[in-house]
Amino acid sequence: MTVFDQLQGFLDRPDIPFKSIIAGITVGKFAFETYLTYRQYRVLSKKKLPKVLENEIDDATFLKSEEYSRAKARFSVVVDIYELVQKLAFIKFDAFPRLWNLSVQVANVLLPAKFKVLSTVAQSLCFLSVLTNLATIVDLPTSYYQHFVLEEKFSFNKLTIKLWVTDMFKSVALSHALGGPILYGFLKIFEKFQTNFLWYICLFVFVVQILAMTLIPVYIMPLFNKFTPLEDGELKTSIETLAKRVGFPLDQIFVIDGSKRSSHSNAYFTGLPYMSKRIVLFDTLVNESSVDEITAVLAHEIGHWQKKHIMNMVVFSQVHIFVIFSLFTGVYRNLSLYNDFGFYIGTSDSLLSSATKVFTPEWPIIVGFMLFSDLLTPMECFMQFIMSLVSRLHEYQADTYAKGLGLSKNLCQALINLQIKNLSTMNVDPLYSSYHYSHPTLPERLTNLGYVSEKKQH
């Protein structure tokens, strides 16, 4: 008997109140993240810039940045409360079996007569479709407020109602068109390899991840943004010269119309390790930054390639996935867990008449995995600290790489200008940052780069 079999036996007991445990974990996560936001909000009440920024940021920009950061912090708490109420109501009112039964009823109405009897895999696909559509509707108020009130107030929002609605429908359509086949493959593995699925599911997830990294930039992103090849000129020549200098396998350089949604700026590259890369620049970055600054930013991005950060994160992700599914082997057939949430496997047909109970001869794996994910929340919160730490170390290394190319000054100026244009937070609580921030703060990055302001003290 393996340790996971022992775990399964230990947890599969009717006296374990899984509903209460998951509700408690949900409240605990909310309390922890609210505490972090409270710490950050207190830091945002400071009226003094970090020393390294004193000669770089004027008072008006600093005050507006702090106001923007406080507004986002307050909004995040409201969103967290909204999501907490949803989750607790979901548990309290047995939404899982209700939505499962509803999805089967909808499928029976829409499908031809020969498909009326649905397999558990087909029921799972219907269930997730209903759940996705419901989540989209429930999230509309917060999405609207974020774009058309919060971002609008600080002049960042460029979305129109029409584009917002179009984006929403595209996202839902893609989640069904792509998510459906992926979920089907995921569930069929469990159906085929009921007791030894671990390595197969890890391989499947790895393949999906690689395909996503390869295909999404080329086929999915253009559905939302227009990709225009960068015109010949000083900027293109500077980028190509840099790529040739460091041996970066540059394929194409694109400018995307990010300004049609937001005035925030960004740049990134896509492509698997050891393959040609596409550099993507937001039009806001191209229009508001100098050639030297953009080149320095891309030197930082190339630093990620040079240090093999993408490959490192792929490996890290696979180890993480392996741990998750290893633990899942110990609970995915836990009758007590399913029963507590209204799912009964291989029991009386009389339960079919109840809206809050589901009778199924097979294991509804998708439900089990969702419940397992809730139980795993404390570990995932801890993992967020680890992943943020690794990501920040990668950012430091990429900055140091750009510095080694002699582009430190330009990179520092680019980071300062982006901080100003994006009204990014100037003062950050260390614990809040270590949990939420994948990048070091600007003062931390400038210090790491050895930046010394050339501006005179006022």
Grouping H, G, I as helix, E, B as strand and the rest as coil, residue 130 is helix
Q: Residue 375 and residue 331: Cα distance in Å, rounded?
A: 10
Over 70: is that where the pLDDT of 113 sits? Answer: no
Indicate yes or no: pTM above 0.75: yes
Q: Between the CA of residue 75 and those of 45, 83, 310, 419, what are the distances in Å?
A: 16, 12, 32, 21
Annotated binding site: 300, 304, 395
Which pLDDT score is estimated for 99?
Answer: 92
Backbone angles phi, psi at 252, to 5 degrees: -140, 155
Contact assessment for residue 346 and residue 297, using Cβ atoms and an 8 Å cutoff:
no
Contact assessment for residue 408 and residue 326, using Cβ atoms and an 8 Å cutoff:
no
Which pLDDT score is estimated for 333?
Answer: 85
Over 60: is that where the pLDDT of 337 sits? Answer: yes
Over 90: is that where the pLDDT of 372 sits? Answer: yes
Contact assessment for residue 416 and residue 449, using Cβ atoms and an 8 Å cutoff:
no
pLDDT in tens, 421-433: 999 999 999 999 9
Over 80: is that where the pLDDT of 290 sits? Answer: yes
Which pLDDT score is estimated for 114?
Answer: 56
Residue in 374, 399, 429, 444 annotated catalytic: 399
Other Cβ atoms within 10 Å of 243 Cβ, number: 20
Over 80: is that where the pLDDT of 348 sits? Answer: no
Grouping H, G, I as helix, E, B as strand and the rest as coil, residue 202 is helix
Q: Residue 158 and residue 289: Cα distance in Å, rounded?
A: 19
pLDDT in tens, 382-403: 999 999 999 999 999 999 999 9
429 labelled catalytic = no
Local confidence band at 25 (pLDDT 50, 70, 90 cut-offs): very high
Annotated binding site for Zn(2+): 300, 304, 395
Number of Cα atoms under 13 Å in the Cβ half of residue 269 = 29
pLDDT in tens, 192-210: 887 789 999 999 999 999 8
Backbone angles phi, psi at 249, to 5 degrees: -75, 70
Considering the chain, what is the average pLDDT of its residues? 88
Contact assessment for residue 339 and residue 14, using Cβ atoms and an 8 Å cutoff:
yes
Q: Between the CA of residue 2 and those of 9, 191, 197, 326, 327, what are the distances in Å?
A: 11, 21, 15, 11, 12
Residue in 56, 66, 151, 301 annotated catalytic: 301
If phi > 0 it is left, if psi is from -120 to 50 it is alpha, else beta; for residue 13 that is beta
Percentage of the residues of the chain whose pLDDT score is greater than 70: 91
Q: Which residue has the tokens 């909808």?
A: 106
Which of 8-22, 127-141, 375-389, 397-411 bottoms out in mean pLDDT, i.e. has the lowest?
8-22
Backbone angles phi, psi at 419, to 5 degrees: -60, -45
Q: Between the CA of residue 364 and those of 135, 194, 278, 323, 339, what are the distances in Å?
A: 20, 12, 41, 21, 12
Q: Which residue has the tokens 């393959």?
A: 275
301 labelled catalytic = yes
